[in-house]
Structure 1
Amino acid sequence: MAILNNLINSIRMKIVKTQSLIIDWSLYDKSIFILYLGVLQSLGTLNWYFTSFHLPDTRQWLNEQFFFFRSVICLVTLAVYVMTILLAHHYKNNLYFQKIMPYFSPMLFGGIMIYSGYTIGIYNPVTLAGYVSIFLVGLVLYDRKIIYFVIIPVTIYILVMCYYTTVHHLPYAPVFSEKLNHSLFYKNQFWVTSMVFLYLPIFVVCILLFELLLWQWRSRENQYELFSKIDFLTGVYNRRYIDVVIQNLIKKQRPYSLILLDLDFFKNVNDVHGHATGDRVLKRIAEVLVLNMREDDIVGRFGGEEFILLLPNQTLQQAIDIAECCRSQIEKENIAISPTKQLKISASFGVATSQADTREDIVSYADEALYRAKALGRNQVQFKQKHTFDEQ
């Protein structure tokens, strides 16, 4: 029971976690997944077959002489699936299994599905629709070379069965009784219901799988889009995204202010305490800046130990006040670098507003103000307009 629970939890985690997309699974994991689908399909077939045979109203439509043989085949099929799954989990680190499973698993699944299709009628729409559905899912999940390696012999298998059925060397739809096979299938409620019941799981699995893959693809695209905006270390926006936002503000002619800040003597932090400590300092400073921003304000890492604050619809005095608040909060920070040692840090700020004509202008003005703040002793706020400096 514990083993079964572990397997179920493993499958659930692989499917639900967006960090572990089905399309990114190894071929080995996809092969095991197909075997689980085979188990579910076999259980569904057994349920339909035994239930139909033991109900008085439906038993008349089944071939009683074929029942024992088909039942044994169904049980053997289920046992083969289960045994293969157990072996696949047990030998998952075996190189030989890793090589053969991506080919063996879909070949087994395809062969069993086609044989099952033959028993209910190799020509009927359900068999053909199942063949097409499984082929399409295979193209999505697997490498092309593996799918064509499997689909070619499976297709030949279908054609051979079709031929021998046509020349009456094989019975058509041996599961069903002669009474049903010599009647109009589409007018027989049991046949129609059976086709729906047998094909519905394939259809539902295909739809759910495609929907899941599309959802995970969208999720991954959203993650990629987010990663293209975010600085990996600090979790704030990166320079590229800040540039895009500034260009949008300029295009919409919205007023904004911009603050550049640089951590004072940060090189000494890396040289004396190591880069791991430097990274910890950058992360904490980013958190302090975010905590002091409005909802519409944007915090970004401009590069190295330099950060940028973008403040839409903020006046000059508001921007200076925010810069001073951030400076004060950073100065008060005690960043733990060991259980007994804390590090103090300070930052210099340069402020500019959208009175500048272009994105390059406002960044240049904020940068000049920042360097003026450093030249005047660091740990202070400076503001630059087109031709003048202001000091806070």
Structure 2
Amino acid sequence: MISHYIKSLKNQFNSDIIMNWNNIHKSILVLVLAFGIQLLWIFWKLWIINTPSIWPWVNLPLIHTQIYINSISAFFFIGLVCICYKFQKKHWAHLFFPHLVISIFTLMFISDGFLVGIYSPATIFAFVSISGIGIILFNRKFIYIHLFNAFSIAIILMYCTYKNLVPYAPIFSQTLLEHDPQKNLFWVLSMAYFIIPILIACLVLCEVLLSQWRHRESLIQILSQTDPLTNLYNRRSFNEKLSLIQNTRTQYAIILIDIDHFKMINDDFGHHIGDEALKAVAQLLSTLVRSSDIVARYGGEEFIIAMPETSLTIAREVAERCRLAIQNQTLETLTQKKINLTASFGVATSEDETQINKIIHHADQALYRAKAYGRNQVHFHGEINHG
């Protein structure tokens, strides 16, 4: 049960949730976070109201007023979520709502930061964390505009508090602020109360986004290495892996395969059937080789197999096994007509040559002879004739 839950959670993390969301859905996420912040404020203030021993450290009339404001704000954010959801398919909504939501969230954040202290640990930490998440979620230029506005307002408030034009951290009492708040347990716990949920939310979002990016990178890497039709290695990745085999200085074999009369299949039955033939041969080759062998689509109707630590005898056996399997493979066309596939094989080993290009060239020469002698045959480098 636990392993199933962990696997399901991992699949969710690796899926395209959040990263592929449009701006409306991301705006809804921001509104949900804003709603959660309002709940944090409400719980904190209710705790204060029900704990008389804390009253000397706070501005109690402001606490009572703020509970109503936070409650109204929470319902307001839920209402915006419903509006965003209702108009999510409208083009204008994708242009308008993200700016509206981010602007409201910025004003809420500045207001909350002013209440607890514009340069308090909670405000600074929240500013850095939320800014980072915003830049990850939305277009950077879009976020930078709102960050500039928020930073400008914060600078103005800092200046005003420095000049005593506005009170600093008005939600706390002057008694607390004038007597080293860092040494006051209530103040310290309040900072931690606001920091920890933001930290957890940011860490979860970052982990989800990073997991999706890693998953995408791995998919991109796989796509760059594979042929999209057959899911085999492409020519470039095959050459890279063959170079690694060459560096081990062990004997290896190369098998070149060409589907017989492939152009005729395309011309007579269409490229769709030709694609089906390529996929069928690719599937057969993948299942018939060893786990250490490398199978790739080498171009058009050609395939190639690299077999590390392999003698000519073993390569001959594998090639013949693959030839027979392809010979027994049939395809059904749209007109219910059956097509019998065959392929020609050319085999060469590194026993007589050290250069990769020459070994592949030897295999290609053997393949040419197999086709010249009637196709559906396996030929080896060094043979005079097939017999």
TM over 0.5: same fold? yes
Counterpart of 1:282 in structure 2 is 278
SS in 2 for 1:254: coil
Counterpart of 1:273 in structure 2 is 269
Q: Is the 8 A contact 1:261 1:370 kept in 2?
A: yes
How far 1:372 sits from its partner (Å)?
0.8
Counterpart of 2:297 in structure 1 is 301
User: Is 1:312 matched with 2:300?
Assistant: no
How far 1:168 sits from its partner (Å)?
4.2
How far 1:146 sits from its partner (Å)?
1.3
Query: Within 2, Cα distance between the matches of 1:284 and 1:255?
Result: 30
Code of the aligned partner of 2:41: T
Q: Is the 8 A contact 1:53 1:62 kept in 2?
A: no
Decide which moves more: 289-298 or 163-172: 163-172
1:330/1:156 Cα in 2 relative to 1: closer, same or farther (>3 Å)? same
Q: 1:378 aligns with which of 359, 375, 378?
A: 375
Query: Within 2, Cα distance between the matches of 1:49 and 1:390?
Result: 93
Counterpart of 1:254 in structure 2 is 250
Q: Is the 8 A contact 1:369 1:389 kept in 2?
A: no
1:16/1:59 Cα in 2 relative to 1: closer, same or farther (>3 Å)? farther
Q: Is the 8 A contact 1:351 1:370 kept in 2?
A: yes
1:53/1:389 Cα in 2 relative to 1: closer, same or farther (>3 Å)? farther
Q: Is the 8 A contact 1:258 1:308 kept in 2?
A: yes
User: Is 1:193 matched with 2:218?
Assistant: no
TM-score (norm 2): 0.90
How far 1:88 sits from its partner (Å)?
1.4
Counterpart of 1:219 in structure 2 is 215
1:177/1:390 Cα in 2 relative to 1: closer, same or farther (>3 Å)? farther
Query: Within 1, Cα distance between the matches of 2:127 and 2:104?
Result: 14
How far 1:97 sits from its partner (Å)?
1.3
Query: Within 1, Cα distance between the matches of 2:87 and 2:113?
Result: 31
User: Is 1:135 matched with 2:131?
Assistant: yes
User: Is 1:38 matched with 2:34?
Assistant: yes
Counterpart of 1:48 in structure 2 is 44
Code of the aligned partner of 1:205: A
Aligned length: 378
SS in 1 for 2:333: strand
Query: Within 2, Cα distance between the matches of 1:390 and 1:298?
Result: 28
Code of the aligned partner of 1:139: I
Code of the aligned partner of 1:306: E
User: Could you give the per-residue CA deviations for residues 263-282 of structure 1, whole angstroms, max 9, x where no partner exists?
Assistant: 11111221222212221221
SS in 1 for 2:303: strand
Decide which moves more: 295-304 or 104-113: 104-113
Counterpart of 2:3 in structure 1 is none
Query: Within 2, Cα distance between the matches of 1:389 and 1:190?
Result: 93
Q: 1:172 aligns with which of 168, 171, 184?
A: 168
**Equivalent residue runs for 1:1-392 within 5 Å:** 16=12, 18=14, 20=16, 22-338=18-334, 340-355=336-351, 356-385=353-382, 388-389=383-384, 391=386
Query: Within 1, Cα distance between the matches of 2:249 and 2:349?
Result: 13
TM-score (norm 1): 0.89
How far 1:337 sits from its partner (Å)?
3.4
How far 1:334 sits from its partner (Å)?
2.5
Decide which moves more: 301-310 or 136-145: 136-145
1:343/1:54 Cα in 2 relative to 1: closer, same or farther (>3 Å)? farther
Decide which moves more: 309-318 or 90-99: 90-99
Q: Is the 8 A contact 1:114 1:131 kept in 2?
A: no
Decide which moves more: 288-297 or 60-69: 60-69
Query: Within 1, Cα distance between the matches of 2:266 and 2:336?
Result: 19
Unaligned segments of structure 2, at least 5 residues: 1-7
Identity of aligned residues (%): 34
